[in-house]
Amino acid sequence: MLILAQCYHIHKKGDVILTHHEPVMLTEVLSLIESHSHGKILDGTLGLGGYSHAMLERFPSAKISGVDRDPEAVKISCERLKIYGERFSAMCKNFGKISEVEELKNFDVLVFDLGVSNMQITIPERGFSFNIDGPLDMRMNPNDSTPTAAEILRDSDSQTLTEIFRLYGEERYAKLIASAVKRSHNPINTTSELVAVIRDALPQPVQRKMGTHPARRIFQALRIYVNHETEELESLLRAIHDNSESSLVIFVSYHSLEDRLIKHTFREWHNEGRGRILTRHPLTPSQEEIERNYKARSAKLRAIFLTVD
Ligand SMILES: C[S@@+](CC[C@H](N)C(=O)[O-])C[C@H]1O[C@@H](n2cnc3c(N)ncnc32)[C@H](O)[C@@H]1O
């Protein structure tokens, strides 16, 4: 089954940009859900509604609540899924604050597909992509009053930037790039200005050996830092532990830091008798899926069934 959520975006200059997001490891997600109760499902990272759409189709008696911190994603999904009436509802919310409003214990299934959607990457104004020129923003919710990536580059010292690039980007040349950012005479306000600084900082032979775009790891690190992605995930895991009752919990992650955090947390829950791990080793996308959708290549799926005494 190939499900593409599409989204038209009218760019400032009047061009129409068509973006779509192909849901990752959808077959694996659906077959896990199929073998458990699934009357009420929380799609905690709604995106363009790819998972929600597939779940609404596959499980006709299921009701789905969608959550995303990106207001544009919520708007697009609501429009796309309104034909399902009361079976689907959505709210704009950071999942790190989910316990404040959501009765987590009422859900049979909680599913989270971390990271960014293709819509966010493709729209120039969002500033997520090293391939598309735009303001260096990277906030998943542009209405947040938190600093943009450009402000973080401007206001952090070289040591802090080195740590961000190393920790969240696993970038070998973190220190070199951080120094180049701080030495730059002009402010770095756009994605292409940052790419140019990174390219200038790295010797040609190093760039050739990298085997990937020289800015990829730095952009990833900034995105994770700007959106406090690790802290939000930690807070979500705590909320699930403290509030959920019997439920299937599924995570799809794309970064080793996140996968490690989920793996260790699931182990703790398992050891304290709070749940039963369903994936001793993480599931990964099939070769056929990676060939069809290269962006799926780093995905890891872990699932646990939570129980209460
Ligand atoms: C990979 S996309 C999800 C795609 C979706 N499964 C689909 O098939 O269309 C990840 C989504 O999670 C959202 N997201 C990331 N961190 C979040 C958080 N802390 N709270 C709520 N949403 C978050 C992003 O805004 C993005 O829309």
Q: Is the dihedral of CA 44, 76, 255, 233 positive or negative?
A: negative
| Residue 6 in this model has a pLDDT that exceeds 60 | no
* 3 state DSSP class of 2: coil
User: What does DSSP say about strands 275-277 and 109-113: parallel, antiparallel, or unpaired?
Assistant: unpaired
d(CA 38, CA 256): 29
Question: Nearest Cα to 220, choosing from 128, 139, 114, 137?
Answer: 128
d(CA 214, CA 197): 11
**Which residue among 1, 4, 117, 138 is best mutated to probe the pocket of ligand 1, counting the most ligand atoms within 8 A of its Cβ?**
117
> If you ran DSSP here, which 8-state letter would residue 172 be given?
T
**Which residue among 4, 45, 51, 91 is best mutated to probe the pocket of ligand 1, counting the most ligand atoms within 8 A of its Cβ?**
45
d(CA 129, CA 42): 29
* 3 state DSSP class of 194: helix
DSSP β-bridge partners for residue 67: 91
Task: Give pLDDT tens digits for 53-111.
Answer: 999 999 999 999 999 999 999 999 999 999 999 999 999 999 999 876 667 888 999 99
Element (H, E) at 160: helix 158-169
- Tokens matching residue 135: 């303001």
Q: Which atom of ligand 1 is nearest to the CA of 48?
A: 9
CATH superfamily of 5-120+229-306: Vaccinia Virus protein VP39 (3.40.50.150)
Between the CA of 48 and the centroid of ligand 1 the distance, in Å, is 9
Between the CA of 115 and the centroid of ligand 1 the distance, in Å, is 6
pLDDT number for residue 276: 96
0.85 exceeded by the pTM?
yes
pLDDT number for residue 277: 98
Q: Which CATH architecture has domain 147-226?
A: Orthogonal Bundle (1.10)
Task: Give pLDDT tens digits for 217-272.
Answer: 999 999 999 999 999 999 999 999 998 888 999 999 999 999 999 999 999 999 99
Mean pLDDT over the full length of the chain: 92
Pair 255, 298: CB distance under 8 Å: yes
Domain boundaries, the chain: 5-120+229-306, 147-226
DSSP β-bridge partners for residue 305: 248, 276
- Tokens matching residue 159: 């040591």
Between the CA of 44 and the centroid of ligand 1 the distance, in Å, is 7
Q: Which atom of ligand 1 is nearest to the CA of 114?
A: 10
**Which residue among 46, 77, 262 is best mutated to probe the pocket of ligand 1, counting the most ligand atoms within 8 A of its Cβ?**
46
Question: Nearest Cα to 73, choosing from 96, 57, 94, 58?
Answer: 94
Between the CA of 184 and the centroid of ligand 1 the distance, in Å, is 33
pLDDT number for residue 256: 93
**Atom 4 in ligand 1: residue holding the nearest Cα:** 47
| Residue 2 in this model has a pLDDT that exceeds 50 | no
- DSSP E strand boundaries for 45-108: 63-68, 88-92
Between the CA of 288 and the centroid of ligand 1 the distance, in Å, is 24
Tell me the residue type at 117.
Answer: S
pLDDT number for residue 1: 43
Between the CA of 149 and the centroid of ligand 1 the distance, in Å, is 19
* Pocket residues: Cβ below 6 A from ligand 1: 5, 21, 23, 45, 47-51, 67-70, 73, 94-96, 113, 115-117, 140, 232
